[in-house]
Structure 1
């Protein structure tokens, strides 16, 4: 089992929040009022991305080990399913927003993987202080 470092949990959750803010700003800029397909796309974004993202940010900040593993799993699966759609994008603003959201997420994944793969430094170190399983 890896060693959880509280400072890294806070960094990772902050990076997730930065990514969520960038995605929300991108959606707000492209928002079209009234009941259009873009309006419903924004609602879907809010329901399926923003709310679970905020929940994961809170869970990761609290140090829940299972939330980190599940979030990493979702990111890896999401990359495999979303990458073909990303390569088909033609709108430069959409590509810019997706890229801006991806940078903090990649950094966050690196931080979480580093913590999850870190070994205790002494035999009696055991589980990290402040982390929850």
Structure 2
């Protein structure tokens, strides 16, 4: 049976469609893992516009997750903004062995920045 010109024109549709579906599935998996682990950093612009603060570590818990061979910890913090009252916040972050060692060895105060629009979002600078 001879192919019509119209059926030959649609031969690209299956490989392109499969590629789009594969990319969508891969993106969804990355999104899902990111949200399950719960690590959310401030952008450079949010850091520049944010409010400076000091974070005191109140407790640290290993989440049993890792990102790029760095262990993800849930860290409960006492946040002291330079321009307001102190409050508690919890962050999840992937710490390398040096950063985790500093937290575990009793270094309890770290420089941080509070998102100007959402004070529950805090970026802690573990290596400063």
| Alignment TM-score, normalising by the size of structure 1 | 0.26
Higher strand share: 2
Determine which structure has more spread, i.e. the larger CA radius of gyration: 2
